[in-house]
């Protein structure tokens, strides 16, 4: 079945065609490790995880690459404020990041790349750009000339006229700036005292890379000059991804990325959750509120990744109630399929193909809210046996990642078939009001070490301790 993806570049849904059959290379912009990630960042990392899982579910061989931004303006500044080395600071927050993603059942990317380990690749790219005359040197660094780049701003739909001399003359050395201000940007920043111990030698001068060239160099190194998918939050469309396209395409003269995927923000009171705004929560804050990481993941899956969501504790607590019901129902379905409980099934003449329906939802631009709703429809469907439901839900969880396999491990001991058969015969006797027979069968069940109890939905069976 086709996978349809909303591509930011074309602003429409497109059928995914891989560069190499049955393979997909995905580059994800990872965290800047100067602090603990917030739950807005985690929304984007869950989106990456869903994308990867959907491709794996479709039997693609996936190479998911994520970078760790462990050198940039923010990390250097924070390490100096804390009076610790850049290595110490970034290693600490990288460890916390890994721990957070594991709590959320986010699969570890196949390649986690440190920017500091790829400085050579960045220097190589900058050298090529200098040679081609697309990059130029100033007093404080090496800059990329956006006026010489083909289609600069196509991803962010910027309109820059060749006559726009104001824009084309100005430069910006900061890593982050506004869409209203496209400028020549820094590829390499020459060493200043503020950089302390952080510098590398290059033929064009001692210094450190700009943020944007880091991802271009790592993506090229790990996946080649043209890659299938590149993803990030919408805040990265400009300038980060716009500049990545400019650098990579100017260096290699090849189309950089076939499908651009951008996830919408998590807001708080309609403002973007951001560290700089101080309006953020961390995963640990949620746990202090009694919210489990997987309940938070469940909440995220109830919205489409391209819709902005507004975070409130109450909203996530509501999702947690639904999540608990989901897990409890799953446990109960296992009980029923193990013969612990009586099951009434009215098999349909034409059974619904839930697996196909599920695949349709997730392959339609990763529609998790509809996939989750389908899982609930399956749970409530009286025409499907509990055993079948358990198998299907376990299968769906390969994408949803709600931890059902962990619940299976605590599955109760199977009830022997003959005991279930006896309990069913007793149920029939009771329906026929043959109390003598029902009591005789109960004794038989008890003698075999099991207790049978009657409920308004039928019987339950339990092994006596
Ligand atoms: P950063 O550590 O700031 O580089 O961000 C890591 C990832 O989180 C990037 O892909 C950002 O686009 C994303 N991100 C940052 N803030 C939010 C937010 N409030 N909601 C969703 N994603 C975000
Ligand atoms: Zn990036």
Judged against a pLDDT cut of 90, whether residue 420 lies above it is answered with no
CA 27, CA 51: separation in Å to the nearest integer?
11
My answer on whether 137 and 191 are in the same domain is: yes
Average pLDDT, stretch 351-369? 97
271 within domain boundaries: no
Give CA separation, 166 vs 29, 175, 242, in Å: 31, 20, 19
Nearest ligand atom owner, CA of 266:
1
pLDDT of the residue at 455: 81
From the CA of 235, give the closest atom in ligand 1.
12
pLDDT of the residue at 160: 73
- 412 pLDDT tier (thresholds 50, 70, 90): low
pLDDT of the residue at 340: 78
From the CA of 266, give the closest atom in ligand 1.
20
Taking only the tens place, the pLDDT of each residue in 206-238 is: 999 999 999 999 999 999 999 999 999 999 999
pLDDT of the residue at 162: 58
> How far does residue 185's CA lie from ligand 2's centre (Å)?
15
422 within domain boundaries: yes
Instruction: Report the residue among 235, 240, 275, 311 best suited for mutation to probe ligand 1: largest number of ligand atoms under 8 A from its CB.
Output: 235
CATH number, residue 81: 3.40.50.620
If one compares 456 and 368, the residue with the highest pLDDT of the two is 368
pLDDT of the residue at 166: 54
152 within domain boundaries: yes
pLDDT of the residue at 411: 52
My answer on whether 241 and 366 are in the same domain is: no
Mean residue pLDDT of the chain comes to: 93
Taking only the tens place, the pLDDT of each residue in 270-299 is: 888 888 888 899 999 999 999 999 999 999
442 within domain boundaries: yes
Taking only the tens place, the pLDDT of each residue in 262-271 is: 999 999 988 8
- Does the CA dihedral 281-214-174-156 come out positive or negative? negative
- 456 pLDDT tier (thresholds 50, 70, 90): confident
CATH number, residue 340: 1.20.120
My answer on whether 307 and 393 are in the same domain is: yes
Judged against a pLDDT cut of 70, whether residue 169 lies above it is answered with no
My answer on whether 248 and 298 are in the same domain is: no
Cβ contact 322:329 at 8 Å? no
CA 197, CA 207: separation in Å to the nearest integer?
10
Judged against a pLDDT cut of 70, whether residue 409 lies above it is answered with no
The protein residue with its alpha carbon nearest to ligand 1, atom 11, reads 233
Q: How far apart are the first and last CA of the chain?
A: 50
My answer on whether 341 and 385 are in the same domain is: yes
Instruction: Report the residue among 8, 30, 38, 44 best suited for mutation to probe ligand 1: largest number of ligand atoms under 8 A from its CB.
Output: 44
**Which of 75-79, 235-239, 461-465 has the weakest average pLDDT?**
461-465
- Which helix (H) or strand (E) covers residue 142, if one does? strand 141-144
Segments forming the whole domain that contains residue 349: 294-463
Nearest ligand atom owner, CA of 308:
1
- 459 pLDDT tier (thresholds 50, 70, 90): confident
Judged against a pLDDT cut of 60, whether residue 163 lies above it is answered with no
Looking at the 3D structure of the chain, how many domains does it have? 2
Average pLDDT, stretch 366-394? 97
Task: Tell me the two tokens of residue 314.
Answer: 């109450």
Give CA separation, 354 vs 23, 51, 127, 303, 361, in Å: 26, 20, 54, 21, 11
Nearest ligand atom owner, CA of 240:
2
From the CA of 33, give the closest atom in ligand 1.
2
Task: Tell me the two tokens of residue 448.
Answer: 């075999």
My answer on whether 230 and 322 are in the same domain is: no
Average pLDDT, stretch 404-413? 71
My answer on whether 192 and 334 are in the same domain is: no
Average pLDDT, stretch 239-250? 97
Q: pTM higher than 0.85, yes or no?
A: yes
Task: Tell me the two tokens of residue 222.
Answer: 């790990």
My answer on whether 376 and 228 are in the same domain is: no
pLDDT of the residue at 161: 67
Nearest ligand atom owner, CA of 218:
2
Burial class (CB in 10 A: 0-12, 13-18, 19+), 269: exposed
pLDDT of the residue at 243: 97
> How far does residue 403's CA lie from ligand 2's centre (Å)?
29
pLDDT of the residue at 463: 83
The protein residue with its alpha carbon nearest to ligand 1, atom 9, reads 233
pLDDT of the residue at 71: 97
pLDDT of the residue at 165: 53
pLDDT of the residue at 419: 87
From the CA of 28, give the closest atom in ligand 1.
10
Contact residues for 158 (Cβ-Cβ < 8 A; gap 6+): 152, 179, 182, 238, 242
pLDDT of the residue at 329: 96
Pocket residues for ligand 1 (CB within 6 Å)?
29, 31-32, 40-41, 43-44, 69, 232-233, 235-236, 265-266, 272-274
My answer on whether 79 and 223 are in the same domain is: yes
- Which helix (H) or strand (E) covers residue 63, if one does? strand 61-68
Q: Which residue has the tokens 């769906």?
A: 396
23 within domain boundaries: yes
**Which of 301-315, 326-340, 351-365, 411-425 has the weakest average pLDDT?**
411-425
Instruction: Report the residue among 27, 38, 41, 101 best suited for mutation to probe ligand 1: largest number of ligand atoms under 8 A from its CB.
Output: 41
């Amino acid at each position: 079945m086709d996978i349809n993806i909303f591509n930011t570049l074309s602003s429409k849904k497109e059928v995914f065609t891989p560069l190499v059959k049955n393979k997909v290379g995905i580059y994800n912009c990872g965290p800047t490790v100067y602090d603990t990630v917030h739950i807005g960042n985690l929304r984007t990392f869950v989106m990456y995880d869903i994308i990867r899982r959907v491709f794996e579910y479709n039997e693609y061989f996936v190479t998911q690459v994520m970078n760790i931004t462990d050198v940039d303006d923010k990390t250097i500044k924070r390490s100096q404020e804390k009076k610790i080395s850049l290595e110490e600071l970034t290693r600490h927050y990288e460890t916390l990041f890994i721990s957070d993603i594991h709590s959320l059942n986010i699969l570890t990317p196949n390649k986690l790349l440190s920017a500091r380990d790829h400085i050579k690749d960045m220097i190589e790219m900058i050298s090529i750009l200098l040679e081609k005359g697309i990059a130029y040197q100033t007093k404080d660094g090496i800059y990329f000339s956006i006026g010489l780049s083909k289609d600069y701003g196509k991803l962010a739909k910027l309109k820059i006229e060749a006559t726009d001399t104001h824009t084309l003359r100005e430069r910006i050395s900061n890593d982050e700036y506004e869409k209203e201000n496209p400028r020549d940007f820094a590829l390499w920043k020459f060493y200043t005292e503020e950089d302390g111990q952080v510098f590398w030698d290059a033929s064009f001068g001692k210094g450190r890379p700009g943020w944007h060239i880091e991802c271009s160099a790592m993506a090229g190194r790990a996946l080649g000059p043209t890659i299938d998918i590149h993803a990030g939050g919408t805040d990265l469309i400009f300038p980060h991804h716009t500049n990545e396209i400019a650098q990579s395409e100017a260096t290699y003269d090849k189309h950089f990325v076939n499908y651009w995927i951008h996830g919408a923000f998590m807001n708080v009171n309609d403002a973007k959750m951001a560290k700089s705004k101080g309006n953020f929560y961390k995963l640990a804050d949620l746990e202090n509120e009694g919210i489990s990481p997987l309940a938070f993941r469940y909440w995220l899956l109830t919205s489409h990744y391209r819709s902005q969501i507004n975070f409130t504790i109450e909203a996530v607590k509501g999702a947690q109630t639904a999540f608990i019901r989901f897990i409890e129902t799953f446990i109960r379905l296992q009980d029923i399929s193990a013969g612990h409980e009586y099951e009434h099934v009215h098999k349909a003449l034409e059974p619904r193909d839930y697996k196909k329906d599920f695949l349709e939802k997730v392959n339609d631009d990763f529609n998790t809210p509809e996939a989750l709703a389908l899982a609930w429809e399956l749970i409530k469907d009286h025409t499907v046996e509990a055993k079948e439901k358990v198998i299907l839900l376990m299968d769906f969880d390969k994408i949803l990642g709600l931890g059902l396999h962990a619940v299976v491990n605590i599955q109760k001991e199977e009830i022997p078939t003959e005991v279930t058969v006896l309990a069913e015969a007793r149920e029939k006797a009771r329906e026929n009001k043959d109390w003598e027979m029902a009591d005789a069968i109960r004794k038989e069940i008890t003698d075999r070490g099991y207790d049978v109890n009657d409920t308004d939905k039928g019987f339950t069976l339990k092994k006596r301790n």
